[in-house]
Amino acid sequence: MAGGFAVVSSKPGGGIKQGKITWYVWICGIIAATSGLMFGYDIGISGGVTAMDDFLLLFFPSVYARKHRARENNYCKFDDQRLQLFTSSLYLAALVASFVASRDCTVLGRKRTMQAASVFFLAGTALCACASGLAMLIVGRVCLGAGVGFGNQAAPLFLSEIAPARIRGALNILFQLNVTIGILVANVVNYFASEIHPLGWRYALGGAAAPAAVLFLGSLVITETPTSLVERGREVDGRKTLERIRGTADVDDEYEEIRAACALAREMVAEEAPYRRLLRRESRPPLVIAIAMQVFQQFTGINALMFYAPVLFQTMGFATDGSLLSAVVTGGVNVASTVVSIVLVDRVGRRKLLLEACAQMLVAQVAVGGIMLAHVRADGTPGDGWAVGLVVLICVYVSSFAWSWGPLGWLIPSETFPLETRTAGFSFAVSSNMLFTFLIAQAFLSMMCAMRAYIFFFFAGWIVVMGTFVLVLLPETKGVPIDEMVDRVWRRHWFWKRCFGDNANEARVNNC
């Protein structure tokens, strides 16, 4: 595609690679990122649906009874393991699916894996919207989880591989932007569906069919990534695709880099399977970073808030309508702040955004915990002023997450693995994310019942750990071509360089 604007990126040795950031790249990126829209919708819709009386009465009558009991403990009224399983089952299924999706990404390509994700999404949506019993509802959520596992494995890799190094961060964050848009749309749908009795919850769950259909139809027309084509032996197609997405025939340097990386990957895979290779010392830096980013992303407490935002706001003293509206407000802040990340990530870098966000989230979490502790009793509600203050503080917290740990939690693992372990390594990132998302989703309401306001201090403690990790161990990857990470990032980092040496003994001596 001819349209676009020029980009110049550096090459080791002082060379220059010319190319364009074409409109075709952005179109492919937007379509691929629709997988994030589906993921976000699933995150946002569950919390609103579980706050709807019609849904609770049909599937969780005991929770419905506790919710309307006059003197029920605010912190414990939604504490039900089956209710939490409705939310968390999706992420347990996604954990398992991510390992299958890893192999599909390598054998079938990123594009086909996204198509499979859309089919799972459509099947899961139909089952959930038509569910007549809890078992059918959970099976639908499991199908949605398989879609999340496949989509979250393929889409970030796709985005990182089609993007020029100069805008890789911005293009990859389209995935997280779509996640936030999906959450916002789900919150808006929940707000209006809650007034439709008794079928509002079915409309809310069935609304996921729209982004699923967009992903399915869009995945039929987008290209495969040049790296995936060359990796699977289709070098001529890979070259043509690279020329198309760069808007120029002058792609010799980048194409040779891709060919060299694929040749090296094939040689290494022939010697040792990718998952076994991840056990090597030189694979440790990106693997540790990838898993740590996912664990920390969940222990910010963000998904606890996004899953159960309406429930949490009801605990804070808002009526059902007010709680859903507050969730819409925080969802809007989430979207706007993710746009900030798109603008800044390739300018100020990954580390600065993460560190600034840690400070902002820490202040917000401690303040929310303090207000809840002082002004929200188990059987009462805060005054209007304190309730509004809580919403403002949560918006401050959400905004900082949305321009940092949200998008960068997916971006950094997708760009730091060498090709020979890229899909295998990223599957560990996806599965780690899904595992800890499952744990938080399954445990949060029970934790809130047991810990009450102290749950916010629990997450604040983790934010301190996260900030320390970034300060000490996370290298900056801004502007580094994806296939040059080992030489330009890991081998130069003060700590991780000890994992690399002329031989295994040298790395062992360096205590990597």
Q: What is the rounded distance in angstroms from the CA atom of residue 315 to the CA atom of residue 332?
A: 21
Give the model's pLDDT for residue 302: 84
Query: CA distances (Å), 443 to each of 78, 138, 439, 466, 484, in order?
Result: 12, 17, 6, 21, 40
Q: What are phi and psi of 18, to 5 degrees?
A: -95, 145
Q: What is the mean pLDDT of residues 426-437?
A: 89
Please, is 102 exposed, middle or buried when counting C-beta atoms within 10 Å of its C-beta (0-12, 13-18, 19+)? buried
H-type alpha helices, 452-503? 454-473, 485-488
Give the model's pLDDT for residue 199: 92
Q: What is the mean pLDDT of residues 213-238?
A: 92
Lowest mean pLDDT among 14-18, 63-67, 186-190, 253-257: 14-18
Give the model's pLDDT for residue 183: 86
Give the model's pLDDT for residue 3: 39
Q: Residue 5: pLDDT band by 50, 70, 90 thresholds?
A: very low
Report which of residues 4 and 328 the model is more confident about. 328
Query: 132 pLDDT exceeds 70?
Result: yes
Q: What is the pTM of this model?
A: 0.78
Query: 63 pLDDT exceeds 90?
Result: no
Report which of residues 102 and 504 the model is more confident about. 102
Q: What is the mean pLDDT of residues 159-168?
A: 86
Q: What is the mean pLDDT of residues 258-267?
A: 88
Q: What is the mean pLDDT of residues 430-454?
A: 83
Q: Residue 508: pLDDT band by 50, 70, 90 thresholds?
A: low
Q: What are phi and psi of 279, to 5 degrees?
A: -80, -10
Q: What is the mean pLDDT of residues 292-309?
A: 80
CA 220 to the chain's CA centroid:
23
SS3 sequence of 105-139: HHHCCHHHHHHHHHHHHHHHHHHHHCCCCHHHHHH
Give the model's pLDDT for residue 423: 87
Q: Residue 362: pLDDT band by 50, 70, 90 thresholds?
A: very high
The residue written with tokens 């398992």 in the block is: 96
Query: 62 pLDDT exceeds 80?
Result: yes
Cβ neighbours, 10 Å, residue 85: 18
Give the model's pLDDT for residue 77: 64
- Which has the closest alpha carbon to 90: 147, 47, 131, 34? 147
% of the chain residues with pLDDT over 70: 86
* pLDDT tens sequence across 31-46: 998 999 998 898 888 8
Give the model's pLDDT for residue 13: 39
3-state DSSP helix/strand/coil percent for the chain, to nearest 5? Answer: 80, 5, 20
Q: Residue 404: pLDDT band by 50, 70, 90 thresholds?
A: very high
Q: What is the mean pLDDT of residues 352-357?
A: 96
Give the model's pLDDT for residue 287: 96
Q: Residue 459: pLDDT band by 50, 70, 90 thresholds?
A: very high
Q: Residue 492: pLDDT band by 50, 70, 90 thresholds?
A: very high
Query: 237 pLDDT exceeds 70?
Result: yes
B/e letters for 45-62, b = 16+ CB within 10 Å, e = fewer, are bbbbbbbbbbbbebbbee
Give the model's pLDDT for residue 8: 35
Cα pseudo-dihedral 8, 12, 15, 21, rounded to 10: -20
Give the model's pLDDT for residue 256: 92
* pLDDT tens sequence across 16-30: 344 567 888 888 888
Q: What mean pLDDT is reported for the chain?
A: 84
Give the model's pLDDT for residue 316: 58
Give the model's pLDDT for residue 329: 81
Query: 171 pLDDT exceeds 60?
Result: yes
Lowest mean pLDDT among 133-137, 231-235, 321-325, 420-424: 321-325
CA 70 to the chain's CA centroid:
39
Amino acid (one-letter) located at 338: T
Query: 55 pLDDT exceeds 90?
Result: yes
Give the model's pLDDT for residue 64: 82
- Which has the closest alpha carbon to 165: 230, 258, 285, 244? 258
Q: Residue 4: pLDDT band by 50, 70, 90 thresholds?
A: very low
Rg for the chain, CA atoms, rounded: 23
Give the model's pLDDT for residue 74: 61
Query: 383 pLDDT exceeds 50?
Result: yes
Give the model's pLDDT for residue 467: 96
Q: What is the rounded distance in angstroms from the CA atom of residue 29 to the CA atom of residue 110?
A: 12
Q: What is the mean pLDDT of residues 74-89?
A: 75
How many Å is the maximal CA-CA distance in the chain? 72
Cα pseudo-dihedral 487, 491, 494, 498, rounded to 10: 170
Q: What is the mean pLDDT of residues 140-150?
A: 94
Query: 307 pLDDT exceeds 70?
Result: no
Give the model's pLDDT for residue 158: 93
Q: What is the mean pLDDT of residues 64-70?
A: 70
